[in-house]
Structure 1
Amino acid sequence: MSDIFNDKKKTLEKEPEEIESTIIPQYKKKNEETENKLSIIMAEFDKLDKEKETHRKFWHQEVDTIFNKLGSLMKSMKENLLAALNSHQSKIKNLIPNMTQTVQQNKEILKSNNVSAVTNYKSKLQEYRNMPTDIDVKLPSLKTNTVQGKELSLELGGYKASLTQTTLSSLTEEVSYLSLQKLLKQAKSITTIPTGVNPLYHVACVGVDEAWVSGGDNTIRRVDIHGSVRDTVTTTSKTLPTDIAVTRQGELVYSDVNNRTVNIVRHGRTETLITTPRGWHPDKLCCTKSGNILISMVTTDFSQHKIVRYQGHTVKQEIDRDEDGEPIYKGGEYALCVVENNNGDIVASDHNAKAVVVVNKSGSVRFRYDGTPARRKKSFNPAHIVTDSMSQIIVADINNACLHILDQNGQFLRCVDNCGLDNPSGVSVDSEGRLWVGLYDSGEVKVIQYMK
């Protein structure tokens, strides 16, 4: 015991000595280094803040310059157009007295019976018939594109200016957010919304807690998560909308199969955005992140289906045949549901072929999914389809009252079959990543949490 005591005492004697002579000086040094770093960081961020304010002023000057240029261009266009029209008007006004004088002279010649005046008369009728050519008045339009938080652009005549934003922090946050997103072992129904629309065909989310819904009448309703109707739109042709979608700016778009039109609702007014070619009728819609619209179309006799990409009124892409010239989509009476994935793939639910068909940006077939990996009791019967922030594909299976979830490469991940999804019709994802699934028979919408 005595030896153990002495050994412990010697250890205790060495410990404070080491702490005082070595460790504390190291900590003090480290503290000074950290203090120095803090000072450097404070100074650097003060410097950055001043630099930021300098650039703020510069950017404001640039924006002012853009709009000053725009103003000058508009003024120049206006002056040139007015000058041309004024000149044209002057020509016309000056000719009227000449014509009046000619008429008077002709009448005097006729009254006088002067042979010489009649024989020497030269007609100006053809000259007067050739009215000065009208000035083609083309009023300029200010084209704008506003994608909140991403791009601001405007165009007038030959002048175009744009501001784009891509912040690394937001990209980092998005990557971090996506990496944390995982499928729940068991999806759960958060709430059931009574819409009063029965039967219910389509659902298109707006932001977090609202969605447009449509069904067996020609009224499209915007309902909130509590079932309250916030707004209504009645289709202009009094026919049922074939599908509904929402643009990135939150504007409602719907298709009218009978009139062959795709319409957009802006500030409470409905405008025709696209008229499909004769013999082709618009079915399902998708508003892409780039501002394009994907439309699935069908011929009058239902023999052919295709997907067409529109940029404004212009056709940018048509997808209907593979590399061998064979139809990609099967003919039949059922509509081809369509959506664009984050990687640019165009995903279609081909109800006639009982398959999900995915093509890449250029329209080449990547894969088909026939529901076999899910091992359901009944045959796969795909209907409405949507993709989420993880590029996962979610398709409603009517026969099996469930949702199939695939990754972007067609790998089956899971089925959502525990939320009472009888006859699912209409699938959308809100800005918080929750699924809104419409039920055809009950007219209800189930809000489902399937990610964590």
Structure 2
Amino acid sequence: KVSHRDILMKHLKEIKQIESMIKENLSILKDLQRESNIVSRIIEYKSRNNELGKLPPKIHVTAPTFCPRPVDRIEAKKLIGSIKPLTSTTIENGYTMKKQRGSSRELLDTPVVINTFNTGYTNLKNVSFYSEQEIWASARVSEIKCFNIKGNAINAIKTRSGENPNDIAVTSEGCLLYTDWELRTVNKVVNGQIEEIITLQGWIPSNICVTSSGDLLLEMCNDDESHCKVVRYSGSVEKQTIQNNENGKPLYSGDYKIKYIAENRNLDICVADLAARAVVVVSQAGKLRFRYTGHPSKENPFKTRGITTNSQGQILIADGGSLCIHILDQDGHFLSHIDNRMFDDPNGICVDTLDNLYVTEYNTGDIKVIKYLK
């Protein structure tokens, strides 16, 4: 009894701590609102939405149950059965975020480009948004640049190997991550210093994303390019491998071609498999949910590139064949596309906190910001 009570009391204490941090953050925001004329304080403010939006694990307590044993009348006084003791388990992601009223947003009939800036790169590949002061981009060079929303370069990092990174991502704390195919590592940049957090043997790291829980999803290919898989890491610890379907068949093509990856609002894992010309979506447990192979209205082959998801649970995919962006709902149904007249050769994509879409143009080195939701 005492141990279970301790578990519940500890859980309550953690919830109260989160509540206290939320109240503290609200107080800071109110101060900023009152002092809105002090621009420096507003610029210095770092959003804690990602940190405070994480829900605690859910404690599930199973009540005692009576388990009778077979008895006869003679043995009735001796054999009366037994009672299982109380048990408790911790269920990760046991809570679900309720959708706020009025949070549903419709697609614009005609999306618009609201900002464009040039990175100075050719062969521009990847983009990852953290804030309007930290937008990271990488190309087929060893340098990864950080821009503000005006397109000013404010920082740059050189990869340790001197090779271009396969992919980049940013943690909820604002730390840059990049995959290094030459050293077979996933690297974290903290205060300008590069730390190796994952080192692979026999596998080459490719694309990466950070989940809502803070885990890393890493897509990788083996040395002879016969197998690919997605591995979930907590820090440097491997937690889950996603490779085959329920029949033992590979979920993903085995070659080294790009497979951008993203987690959806419902915790589905979405992979844009270029060689398979398909988007492969599995559940959090790794079970295949659906494959999307393009829309019949497009005459050119479906060539997947970047993939991202938004607050509506929609999936956005850059198509290098038709030079457009496909928009799906979370169950794989086609909703719309962003027309190819808006950009040249779209590649990596991501969304900001307002769901505006950032699109890298491989040939021009431009990043275009597109408003597509009302």
> Which of 175, 188, 200 is the matching residue for 2:100?
175
Q: Distance in 1 between matches of 2:50 and 2:265?
A: 16
User: Is the aligned partner of 1:201 residue 2:117?
Assistant: no
Identity %: 39
- Show structure 1 runs of 5+ residues with no match: 1-58, 64-145, 154-170
User: Is the aligned partner of 1:291 residue 2:194?
Assistant: no
CA-CA distance at 1:405 after TM superposition: 0.2
Who is 1:393 aligned against? 315
Who is 1:383 aligned against? 305
The TM-score normalised by the length of structure 2 is: 0.74
Q: Is the 8 A contact 2:130 2:170 kept in 1?
A: yes
CA-CA distance at 1:260 after TM superposition: 0.9
Q: Distance in 2 between matches of 1:271 and 1:264?
A: 5
Who is 1:266 aligned against? 190
CA-CA distance at 1:150 after TM superposition: 4.0
Who is 1:251 aligned against? 175
> Which of 122, 139, 148 is the matching residue for 2:51?
148
- Residue identity matched to 2:171: T
Q: Is the 8 A contact 1:209 1:430 kept in 2?
A: no
Q: Distance in 2 between matches of 1:324 and 1:148?
A: 38
Q: Distance in 1 between matches of 2:53 and 2:214?
A: 12
Who is 1:313 aligned against? 236
CA-CA distance at 1:444 after TM superposition: 0.3
User: Is the aligned partner of 1:405 residue 2:330?
Assistant: no
Who is 1:220 aligned against? 144
SS at match of 1:187: strand
Q: Is the 8 A contact 1:305 1:336 kept in 2?
A: no
- Residue identity matched to 1:178: S
In structure 2, relative to structure 1, the CA distance for the partners of 1:152 and 1:434 (3 Å cut) is: closer
Q: Distance in 2 between matches of 1:216 and 1:313?
A: 27
Q: Distance in 2 between matches of 1:419 and 1:448?
A: 12
What's the CA shift string for 1:111-158, capped at 9, x where partnerless?
xxxxxxxxxxxxxxxxxxxxxxxxxxxxxxxxxxx96324699xxxxx
Q: Distance in 1 between matches of 2:119 and 2:54?
A: 35
In structure 2, relative to structure 1, the CA distance for the partners of 1:436 and 1:419 (3 Å cut) is: farther
In structure 2, relative to structure 1, the CA distance for the partners of 1:268 and 1:344 (3 Å cut) is: same
CA-CA distance at 1:186 after TM superposition: 0.9
Q: How many residues get paired?
A: 292
SS at match of 1:289: coil
User: Which has the larger displacement, 414-423 or 223-232?
Assistant: 414-423
> 1 or 2, which has the higher strand percentage?
2
Who is 2:264 aligned against? 341
Q: Distance in 2 between matches of 1:193 and 1:149?
A: 32
SS at match of 1:322: coil
Q: CA RMSD in A?
A: 2.3
- Show structure 2 runs of 5+ residues with no match: 1-15, 21-48, 57-96
In structure 2, relative to structure 1, the CA distance for the partners of 1:419 and 1:212 (3 Å cut) is: farther
Q: Distance in 1 between matches of 2:108 and 2:179?
A: 35
Q: Distance in 2 between matches of 1:356 and 1:151?
A: 27
In structure 2, relative to structure 1, the CA distance for the partners of 1:234 and 1:363 (3 Å cut) is: same
Q: Distance in 2 between matches of 1:404 and 1:421?
A: 14
SS at match of 2:52: coil
SS at match of 1:178: coil
Whose Rg is larger? 1
Q: Is the 8 A contact 2:127 2:136 kept in 1?
A: yes
Q: Is the 8 A contact 1:193 1:226 kept in 2?
A: yes
Equivalent residues in 2 for 1:88-127 (5 A)? none
Who is 1:52 aligned against? none
Q: Is the 8 A contact 1:187 1:419 kept in 2?
A: no
> 1 or 2, which has the higher helix percentage?
1
Q: Distance in 1 between matches of 2:290 and 2:318?
A: 18
Who is 2:289 aligned against? 366
- Residue identity matched to 1:449: K
- Residue identity matched to 1:175: Q
Q: Distance in 2 between matches of 1:293 and 1:199?
A: 26
What's the CA shift string for 1:237-275, capped at 9, x where partnerless?
111111000111111000001111000011111111111
The TM-score normalised by the length of structure 1 is: 0.62
Q: Is the 8 A contact 2:122 2:363 kept in 1?
A: yes
